[in-house]
């Protein structure tokens, strides 16, 4: 049996409650008050009193709401009849905190955005933590507070959760998996007809900010203006776009693998060609410099607060105006179009007028970016 | 950048598709066909072509269904108006395969059971994988097939998912987080009134089997009859019990922390006392021997296919009969009752007629049991 678990079981409770006072304290003989130990121990994942302390002292104060407070194995939700969106993502970003955000923001906004891409209004999230033995409880509190803040900003509730602890050397501080349920309003018709030649490709803002914010920390790069992750919820932007055109052909937030991956996926799936104008794609000077230094293509770098849309040509102006009127889409631009040529392939026109194929990336240039 | 990612990006595709044939093969210069590499590499978590291969070659063949095949960031579900149950759990069990089951069974049955304890009929699951670089793809296939088999047996669909890869030494092969959505039938009234003195405490079968199956593998113990995990879905059993008594007071599957933890939780929450008869609790001879050898109390050992119920006294016989008529409840027994004495405390009468307090365990005797 693991040493710290043994000690934890023998530890004297730091703050005896009415109930623990009834328990014979003679069984608690360890003089070290491990329940005040400022780091995660295996016992925190055991489902007993230490797990309960994590829930009562860390999770409930941050997330607390009527539904989570049920503290049962599952949470009961009242939903209207109709369509729900359901999504899940694990977050393993390294480091846990980076310029502009944290794993807590990503774990909320990433899943909120996956729901939003179906046109859903995100409503409920679950949160499952895999903690590494020895992880600082102070850092856990900071992560959880960031999640709570992001959930509040996005208007979603964290209604159920779980915590497991793995031995030192079998994790990396904190991994978080969130799942989300969103409610798709009646009339939303995203994807009713697939992308077709003539459609416009729109992008909601500058690309590469999230990936390069992470890389600038990992590589210790400093720029005149720091690179800040773009992590943000996008469901308000999507709602505004759907108001302008309920039958948007396709929406995707280009996270891992960046714009190149998302556009290749839709080109392959819909068997259409896509042409983009590199000069039309917003990239901040800092991201451009960082990409040049590190030899990366901004089209392949992850974003956490941007979306791509394919819309019927006749709706382009209306959707673009709706995007630019929303805070999350101020820099939105038309970056390309769907073509009948080269189905399944994405081709970029460079700033110098040359053409290059943008292939589907094989792996990932930047591991653990989200 | 990580070595294997670099190599993966340069790897020559093993089976060129129509689309990859259009890409200049000159960029793929690595002579090692890493895409045939039988282990997980970081690129499998990158969202690009390698991620797509995992999905197309491993996940879809096992889980494939109309909903998962949408392959979008979230899945659209049609649900009736009413109550849904929503639950999540991460699974970090070690070893991944053990007598009677695997992490794949647990990841399905554990979440199915969390939903079932609300009286819900489990319907949809998500599955998020955190894989460690170097994990065998063959083992991943075996885990995924076990998940698919368990999902089929439980009548649920895995409708959305995610895969992340972490560097070697930051995981342990495979962690899985599942979330589930269940539909609560009209008329289910579990928990409408809280446990009250006079209520009966029922248990669906023998305890300690899962935890001791894991421990027997870890400790290399062999018994005349091997100990087999009890992992099983319980929603059919719950449905039968609800038919006998729609207003069951409380249901819980005693996983981590065992029966002792679950009963203490409800005693504390409902501010009632609970008395159990140790002699009435089914324990197999093999589990009893193993617990004696290892110095463990079966009441504290995890179960993965058992449930505890608190029911009004007058419904006891009907619920017990319904349980015993179901395959998952054949050995069901009345093990105790709710009392007005010692609120918040669980007391056991031993086989020798003595009484002992069963405290809420502090940590976990058996880390990574699920």
Contact A313, A240 (CB under 8 A): no
| Same domain assignment for residues A47 and A129 | yes
Q: What is the pLDDT of residue B208?
A: 97
Same domain (yes/no): B274, B129? no
pLDDT in tens, B12-36: 333 433 433 343 434 444 434 445 6
pLDDT given for residue A21 in this prediction: 38
Q: What is the CATH number of the domain that holds A277?
A: 3.90.650.10
Whether B4 and B83 share a structural domain: no
Contact of A298 with chain B, judged by CB distance below 8 Å, is answered with: no
Question: Mind listing the pLDDT tens digit for each residue in B329-356?
Answer: 999 999 999 999 999 999 999 989 999 9
Report the mean per-residue pLDDT for chain B: 89
β pairing state of B75-79 and A82-91: antiparallel
Say what the pLDDT of residue A16 is: 37
Name the domain count of chain B: 3
In whole angstroms, what is the distance from residue B141 CA to residue B134 CA?
A: 14
Same domain as A135, residue A246: no
Strand ranges of the sheet holding A82-91, from the earlier edge strand across to the other edge: A157-166, A121-132, A174-184, A82-91, B75-79
Q: Has residue A19 been placed in a domain?
A: no
Which of these, A165, A146, A211, A130, lies nearest to A47 by C-alpha position? A165
| B175 vs A contacts (CB less than 8 Å) | 130, 166, 175
Residues A131 and A267 both lie in one domain = no
Q: Token pair for residue A227?
A: 């690179």
Residue A292 buriedness (CB in 10 A; 0-12 / 13-18 / 19+): exposed
Chain B environment of A23 (Cβ under 8 Å) = 357, 359
Preceding amide of B95 cis, omega within 30: yes
Based on the fold, state whether residues B345 and B233 are members of the same structural domain: yes
- Under an 8 A CB cutoff, do B74 and A184 touch? no
Q: How far apart are CA B251 and CA A347, in angstroms?
A: 58
In a domain, residue B258? The reply is: yes
pLDDT tens, position by position, B160-194: 999 999 999 999 999 999 999 999 999 998 988 99
pLDDT digits (tens, 9 = 90+) for A75-126: 999 998 999 999 999 999 999 999 999 999 999 999 999 999 999 999 999 9
B46-77: per-residue pLDDT in tens? Answer: 888 899 899 999 999 999 888 887 777 789 99
Spatial separation of the C-alpha atoms in residues A220 and A223, rounded to whole Å: 10
Spatial distance between the Cα atoms of A342 and B27, rounded to a whole number of angstroms = 20
The 10 Å Cβ neighbour count of residue B192 is 10
pLDDT top residue among B131 and A34: B131
Residue range of the domain that includes B98: 68-184
Verify that A177 and A208 share a domain, yes or no: no
Q: Is A77 on the interface with B (CB under 8 A)?
A: yes
Residue with tokens 């446990």: B195
> What does the alpha-carbon distance between residue B196 and residue A252 come to, in Å, rounded to a whole number?
52
Task: Say if the Cβ atoms of A23 and B359 lie within 8 Å.
Answer: yes
Q: Tens of pLDDT along A205-220?
A: 999 999 999 999 988 8
Is the minimum CB–CB distance between A86 and chain B shorter than 8 Å?
A: yes
The shortest CB-CB distance from A360 to any of B48, B163, B164 is to B48
Contact assessment for residue A314 and residue A247, using Cβ atoms and an 8 Å cutoff: no
| Both structure tokens of B202 | 């029922």
- State mean pLDDT over B231-241: 98
Q: Are A43 and A50 in contact (CB under 8 A)?
A: yes
| Chain A residues touching residue B46 (CB < 8 angstroms) | 256-257, 361-365, 367
**Residue A324 phi, psi dihedral angles, 5° rounding:** -65, -20
> Which B residues 28-67 touch A at CB under 8 Å?
35, 41-52
Map tokens 């794993």 to a residue.
A103
Kindly state the average pLDDT of the residues A161-187. 97
3-state helix, strand, coil in chain A (%, to 5): 35, 25, 40
A59 HSE (CA, 13 A, CB side): 22
Q: What pTM did the predictor assign?
A: 0.90
- What residues of A are in contact with residue B169 (Cβ under 8 Å)? 169
Residue B92 has pLDDT above 90, yes or no: yes
């Amino acid at each position: 049996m693991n040493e710290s678990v043994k000690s934890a079981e023998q530890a004297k409770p730091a703050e005896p409650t009415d109930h623990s006072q009834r328990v014979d304290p003679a069984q608690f003989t360890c003089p070290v008050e491990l329940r005040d130990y400022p780091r995660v121990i295996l016992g925190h994942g055991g489902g007993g009193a230490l797990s309960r302390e994590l829930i009562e002292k860390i999770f409930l104060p941050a997330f607390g709401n009527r539904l989570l407070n049920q503290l049962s194995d599952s949470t009961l939700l009242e939903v209207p009849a109709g369509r729900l969106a359901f999504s899940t993502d694990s977050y393993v970003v390294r480091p846990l905190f980076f310029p502009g955000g944290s794993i807590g923001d990503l774990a909320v906004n990433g899943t909120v955005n996956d729901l939003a891409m179906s046109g859903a209004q995100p409503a409920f999230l679950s949160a499952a933590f895999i903690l590494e033995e020895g992880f600082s409880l102070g850092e856990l509190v900071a992560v959880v507070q960031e999640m709570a803040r992001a959930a509040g900003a996005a208007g979603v509730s964290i209604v159920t959760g779980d915590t497991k602890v793995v031995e030192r050397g079998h994790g990396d501080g904190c991994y978080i998996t969130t799942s989300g349920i969103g409610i798709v309003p009646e009339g939303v018709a995203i994807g009713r007809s697939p992308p077709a030649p003539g459609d416009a490709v729109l992008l909601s803002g500058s690309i590469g900010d999230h990936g390069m914010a992470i890389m600038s920390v990992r590589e210790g790069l400093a720029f005149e203006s720091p690179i800040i992750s773009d992590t943000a919820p996008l469901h308000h932007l999507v709602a505004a776009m759907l108001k302008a055109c309920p039958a948007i052909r396709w929406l995707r937030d280009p996270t891992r693998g960046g714009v190149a991956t998302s556009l290749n996926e839709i080109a392959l799936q819909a068997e259409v060609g896509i042409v983009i104008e590199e000069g039309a794609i917003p990239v901040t000077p800092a991201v451009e410099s960082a990409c040049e230094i590190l030899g990366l293509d901004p089209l392949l770098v992850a974003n956490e607060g941007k979306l791509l849309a394919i819309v019927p040509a006749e709706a382009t102006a209306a959707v673009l105006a709706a995007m630019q009127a929303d805070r999350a889409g101020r820099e939105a631009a038309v970056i390309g179009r769907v073509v009948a040529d080269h189905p399944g392939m994405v081709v970029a026109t460079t700033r110098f007028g040359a053409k290059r194929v943008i292939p589907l990336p094989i792996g990932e240039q930047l591991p653990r970016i989200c």
